[in-house]
Each structure stands twice: as C-alpha cells, then as structure tokens.
Structure 1
Amino acid sequence: MPRSDPTRGTKLTSGFEDDPDGDSLVGSIVREGHIYSLAATNDLLYTGSDSNYIRVWKDLDEFSGFKSNSGLVKAIVICRDERVFTGHQDGKIRVWKTSAKNPRVYTRVGSLPALKDVLKRSVKPSNYVEVRRRRKKLWIKHSDAVSCLSLVEDQGLLYSASWDRTVKVWRIHDLKCIESIKAHDDAVNSVVATVWSGESLVFTGSADGTVKVWKREVGGKRSSHILVQTLLKQDSAVTALVTSHVAVYSGSSDGAVNFWEMGEKKLLKDGGVLKKHRLAVLCLAAAGKLLFSGAADKKICVWRREGRVHTCVSVLTGHTGPVKCLAVVEPTVEDGRLLVYSGSLDKSVKVWRVPYY
C-alpha cells in the first residue's frame, strides 16, 4: 500500500496583505507537476498533479503526501469520515484514509470498482457494453480518464464523470457501482450532483457543447437518473460547472460563462451570459453571492451577483499559466473574507483572501 511520502523541495512564498478590505494574495506554493485538482477543508488543502502525487497542506506548509502510480490526478473529493476519493487518468478512482495513529500517514483502502466486483461481474456477457467499435468493457468500469467527481454525502453517493461519455453512480459505504448513465455524445468534462429546490439533481457538461440536467428517482431499493432538461447546445465545449443556491453556471472553451435559474414547474430558465475571459474557462467556484471563474488566459474573475445582475468586481492575476482548478473555504466570523485556492498549469497553487461582499 502507498504510504505518506516525506518530500523535499517545496518553494513557498507568502505573507502580503496590502488592503484589508480588498483582495490579497496570501501565498504561493510551488511543487513538481502541473496542478489539475484541488480540494479544501477548514484546515487542510489537497492538491493533485501530473506527478501522480496528492499533496496535503496545512497553513501553507506541506503536511503529508501520497502517491498513486495511475496517471495524473484529475479530481479530489473529501468525505466527512476523512476518506479521500481521487479520480485518475487511467479511468480508476482510488480511496485513501489517514492512519488512526498518525494523521500524516495516508494509505489506500480501496478502489472503484473493487477487484472483487470486477471478477464477479466479468463472468456474465450481459455485464459488458461496447465502448468503442469492436471493443467491450464491464459497465461498472470507466474506459477512459475520470475527469471529475461529485459527492452527495447525505445520500451516500459519489458521481464520477469520464471522457468515455458516461457518468457512474457509486454507493460510498460499500464502494459499489449502482448505475452507469450514457450521458453525452463526447467526453464529459464536469459533473455536479446536488439537492436543489427539494429535487435530487445532477448537472453534466460535455465536449459535445451541451449541459444536461438529470433527476434522481427512487423506487423501492433502487434509484435511477432520467434526463429532464438540456440547458445548452453550442459548438464550444462545456469545460466547467458549478451550482450556487440560486443558479447553475457553466464555463465554455470560448471563454463564456452561461447561467440558469430555477423557473416555473421546477425547470431551469436561461439567465444570461458573462463575458470577461479571452480564452477557455477551465474552472468555476461559488460561495454566497460570489462566483469565481478561472481560465486559460491565466486570470481569475470574481463576480458578484445582485438579483440577476452579475458584476465583475475583481480580477486576480499572478499565475503564469492557465488556471485549472479552484477551491473556496467559507470565511470565519473574525476574518469575514473567503479563502480561495487556485491551481495552475504553471505548477503553482496561489492562496487569496477575498472580501465576502
């Protein structure tokens, strides 16, 4: 089992906060590998890169690290029970947990799908689906890179999206795949599962230029997802999704951010388009009235929502490569500002404090 890795060579700069009422760069972490994924709790930051390492940071210092020989780390989500799920280029999802004796030590405690489930299902021809011409694979396995993960802990479900055009649904207590959704006609780049307006909804965005809405329906001991709405059809690939308490946002390869709001009969209606980036929007994050968009133009735009009107109140600059991922931690009562992490293909993670407008 891979264990925590005591590593060397971290380059860290930190410590200027020029304007207590404005945006400020708190610090910058530079490590080997382009940063592809981030996840944050109140005191820990997890970063995933093409070096195959998942690094764990505390107060901008390296706290731990663990490695999987599985290609770059494209997605990270954290459970309340402190398990960490990571999605990888090889199409698999790994599960990690800290040692009870030493919180700095992480061991791999499972993978999705589990080997026993693969062996059990592999004997039945009906469990195979065609993934490419003249090529079949078990329906519980992704046949291409896992692009993103979304966790709904109250329902005990993990959603994984893949370049194989599917979204798979996993029960997190026993790590079993319970459903595979043929979601799109091209790679699925983003998935967000949430309970919204009393409905269990899943939003998917794809390189085929569409954003789709799926509703989870429960019947007896089984559940399934049905397509209820297609929000967007365009030539540009959909590259990122996020939900706030009032809207759904999608980022596209043309630099635009589209958004939708809940309308009548619990259907989403078009809210408009936000245009500020010159190149592809690669990541989105939301907190309260704020929306953050990171892009290939190396910038992070901070949008404030008032009613249906969005205003770009700030642009965070400093990265020298495309901004690939974002994570936001809610403010403390004492501070009153959001902690925002941005990961870039310039091999750095930057840490910002942004007013909670």
Structure 2
Amino acid sequence: MAAASGSFFIRKRKVVEGQGRKKKGEDGEVKVRKKLPTKLNEEISSDSETESVEHNNKDAEELEIEETAQEKKLRLAKLYLEQLRREEEERAEEEQFKGDSIGGRLEEEVLEQKGKLKRLVAKYYVPPDISEIRLLRGHQLPVTCLVVSPDDKYIFSASKDCSIIKWDVSCGKKLHTIHRGQEGAEDRHLGHILSMAISSDGKYLATGDRNKLILIWNPATCQHHHTFKGHKDAVSGLSFRKGTHQLYSASHDRSVKVWNVDQNAYVETLFGHQDAITGLDSLSRERCVTAGGRDRTVRIWKIVEESQLVFHGHESSIDCIQLINEEYMVSGADDGSLALWTVTKKKPLVTVKTAHGIHGDPGLQQPNWITSVTALLNSDLVASGSHDSKIRLWKCGEGFKSLELLFDIPVVGFVNSLKFSSSGDFLVAGMGQEHKLGRWWRLKEAKNGICIISLKKTETKQQPGTINSCDENN
C-alpha cells in the first residue's frame, strides 16, 4: 500500500517462533503462553479513527483468545466474590447508620422526658429572604398574642379588637374569625385579648382578656367550649401543661391559678408576686414559671410541693418569659435587657444589656423595651422582639453561658408576640402599631397583623455533639 494513499501503517512486532512455549495443564489441555508485546508502535497518519478502534478491538480479541476456559472461570469467580464483599460492606454501613439513628432518637426521647434535651441547631440558621416574609392582615387593632398549632398547619392570633382569627399557614388565608361579643355575653370577648395557649394535642385553645375571663375553644371548629371566671384583673398569661389538659393562668391580680379543662373545674390559686404578673410558661413537669413585672422577680411554682423558687436579676420590669427546656429559660425587660437563666441558680447566667439598642434624642436616650421573647423548644435558638424595626435571633453559647447574636430580621412595629413552629421552619410575629398593654406611643408606619418568616438553614447533617443534655450539676 503506498504511503501517499492517505491510509496509515501499523507495525506490529511478531512473536518469534519458539518465544512462546507449550505447557500441558492438569486437565490435559495444551495451552500456549505468548509473551505479550510491551508496547505497540503505531503510526497514525490522520484520517480515520474507526480503523484505529477496529484495530484495538482485534488486540482485545487476541488477548481473550489467549485466556483459557479455566482462567476465565477463576477471573469471574474473583469478580463475583469482590462484588459480594462490597455488598456486604454496604449492608453493614446501612445497618450501622440505622442503629445510630434509632439510638439517637431514643437518646433524644429520654433527654426530652427528663427536660434536659438541647439540640445545638442555632449555628445552622442563616438570614431569611426578606421578600419571603408574609404579612397577613385581618385584625383592626394591634395583635397582642398568638399560638401555632402542634402540627404547624394553623396559626391563631388575637388582638385589641377582641377578635380571634384562625389562619392557614400554607396559603395565608383566614379560615375562621371569632368576632367581638355583644354586651353581657360570656361566650365572646369584650375586652382586649392579652394571652393565648393551645394544648399539646390541639384539642383546646384558651384565651384570656382584660375583663378577667378565660375562654376555652375548640380549635378545629372555633366553637366556644367553656368560660372560666375567678381572676380579679386582666389575664396576662396562659399555658397548658404539655401532654395534659391542665391549664395555668397568670393575672395582673398577682396570682397564678390552676384549672382542669377536661372537667371545666378550678383547682387552686398560688400567691407570691408583689406586682402584676406579665408572663407565664410551662412544659411537661407539674410546675410553671412566671415573670413578676415591676417586682423584678422570676418565679418557678412547684405545684406538687406547694413551693416556689424566686430569681432576681433584671433591674426593671420583667415583661416576658419563655422556657427553653425544663432547665433553662429566657426573659426580657423594659430596660432593654435580655437574660438567660438556669433553674438551679438564682441569678442569670448571662444578661445582654440594651439587647435591641436605644432610641431618643441625645441626652434623653432610652433602651428599646424587650416586648416579647421565644425559644425553639429543646434547642439553643432564641428570638427577641422590640419596637426597633427588627427581630433578633440569638444562639445560646457553649454551656448555655452566653447569648450570641446571629442576625436581625427587619419588621416594622411593636413585636407583641413571637412563636417558633415546632419544626423550627418558620417564626411567627404578632405585630402592632402599639404595645399590647398600652398606648404610650404609636408607630403610624406599622401595620397590624402577623408576620410569617420562613427560616433558612444550611446543611444540618448530624454531627457529633449535636445533642447535649444539661449538666447534671446545673
């Protein structure tokens, strides 16, 4: 073939006669082992890649021809054994992962039952997309309180206009409105609604107002169930004991009352605060925690023991309080301070002064009040609200001995109430032009309603140490 024809030449070294040697196998089969060329010298002129591919295929075929049936069986057997080994390793990894997952869940359940579970999740949260913040309007006056249903599907909000609205979280629509009642009626509110709570099974909704009444509702139908009377002043705090239908209520009359909602019965009254109680919370244990307003105390009421623990730390009126778990809690005051407590120490573990900054003219500056606080249950994530056009998210630092600011969420108006969803996927804020307890000043640019803030997280793959229990000596 002429070199000018455009084809290519392949020079292949031939096996020299006698270079291969015959060997008789155990089965009597004669096989020839040839020494393979160490390198195939190829000279490719350019035109056709298909001829090169055909040539490589021929080389492969030649190599296959040299493999005897016995060698092929051996090779396939090794491949099969390797495949079985890999499958076994993968199965072992899956079983270990499942075991770790089950063990982790059991550990969480045990710690949660003891009230010592701390999920270290705050570090995964990042600032939300402002464009995704939804403002739902329906109340005519400032929103004063709200709750999220246990399944995170619904929000119940109440207002100074004495109405209650049930919202659908997914679409933001009003599902039902309970309007202000007629004079003399006891199945509707006639005064500003100041407090709200929902049972952990979603069976009962409780609301308290300035007219000293506590109304119980069916959250599914929004029908009135019962009215409790007994307080001598505004009902400022409500909380269901988790896993039960035992209801705690706090009032400006300085008392805490215990009710049995299943039996529509009054149980007992607790006294101790020296000023109007401004906030109340409870979890699974038969106890509750209260903020005593201008008596500047936080109190834990041990119902069974008929005793109370008194905590001091804020220098001004304590306006809001929330339990993080059974061992830790967070509170806010009208001097702008935010405090983190443990139930075993009578002083705060840490206090952040002017947590929301200051306002006013130079020389007349005042701290922005902390109007609401909340915590993602059994975690290290805390949120606080004021009237400084922002909600602040905080991380409880190592050992829960510090509060570290994560980021701000812009909002306009008084943040009168804050609640995390149980999943931690969103935060709800009850907004108003005025403070929920009075009209000291008014923010005209604000809108009365509720803000649903979708929270974003980075990768939350379980890491060692993500689940912690509270220190036994705390």
1:243 is aligned to: 323
Q: Distance in 1 between matches of 2:391 and 2:210?
A: 26
2:225 is aligned to: 109
Q: Distance in 2 between matches of 1:73 and 1:315?
A: 28
The one-letter amino acid of 1:270's match is: P
2:452 is aligned to: 351
Q: Distance in 2 between matches of 1:225 and 1:293?
A: 32
Q: Distance in 2 between matches of 1:356 and 1:21?
A: 6
The question of 1:300 aligning with 2:391 is answered yes
Q: Distance in 2 between matches of 1:162 and 1:172?
A: 18
Q: Distance in 2 between matches of 1:318 and 1:163?
A: 29
Q: CA RMSD in A?
A: 2.1
Instruction: Provide the aligned length of Structure 1 versus Structure 2.
Output: 287
* Residues 69 and 296 (structure 1), Cα distance of their counterparts in 2 relative to 1, 3 Å cut: same
The one-letter amino acid of 2:211's match is: D
Q: Distance in 2 between matches of 1:64 and 1:82?
A: 17
1:271 is aligned to: 349
**Which contiguous aligned blocks of 4+ residues in structure 1 show a shift greater than 4 angstroms?**
none
User: Identity rate of aligned residues, in percent?
Assistant: 21
Offset of residue 269 of structure 1: 5.4
Offset of residue 316 of structure 1: 1.1
Report the structure number with the largest CA radius of gyration: 2
Are the equivalent residues in 1 in contact too, given 2:371–2:386 (CA < 8 A)?
Answer: yes
Q: Distance in 1 between matches of 2:231 and 2:145?
A: 19
| Matches for 1:188-337 after TM superposition, within 5 Å | 188-195=277-284, 200-207=286-293, 208-217=295-304, 225-227=306-308, 229-232=309-312, 234-245=314-325, 246-263=327-344, 270-275=348-353, 276-278=355-357, 279-287=368-376, 288-307=379-398, 308-319=401-412, 321-331=413-423
TM-score, normalised with respect to structure 2: 0.57
Q: Distance in 2 between matches of 1:283 and 1:21?
A: 21
Are the equivalent residues in 2 in contact too, given 1:262–1:269 (CA < 8 A)?
Answer: no
Bigger strand share: 1
* Residues 304 and 174 (structure 1), Cα distance of their counterparts in 2 relative to 1, 3 Å cut: same
* Residues 210 and 268 (structure 1), Cα distance of their counterparts in 2 relative to 1, 3 Å cut: closer
The question of 1:75 aligning with 2:195 is answered yes
Deviates more, 1:282-291 or 1:199-208: 199-208
| Matches for 1:122-161 after TM superposition, within 5 Å | 141-161=230-250
Are the equivalent residues in 1 in contact too, given 2:314–2:337 (CA < 8 A)?
Answer: no
- What are the ranges of 5 or more consecutive residues in structure 2 without an aligned counterpart? 1-124, 180-187, 358-367, 434-447, 459-474
Offset of residue 312 of structure 1: 0.6
Q: Distance in 1 between matches of 2:328 and 2:126?
A: 27
- What are the ranges of 5 or more consecutive residues in structure 1 without an aligned counterpart? 1-19, 114-140, 218-223, 332-336
Offset of residue 27 of structure 1: 0.7
Q: Distance in 1 between matches of 2:202 and 2:428?
A: 23
The one-letter amino acid of 1:282's match is: T
Are the equivalent residues in 2 in contact too, given 1:212–1:232 (CA < 8 A)?
Answer: no
TM-score, normalised with respect to structure 1: 0.75
Deviates more, 1:38-47 or 1:299-308: 299-308
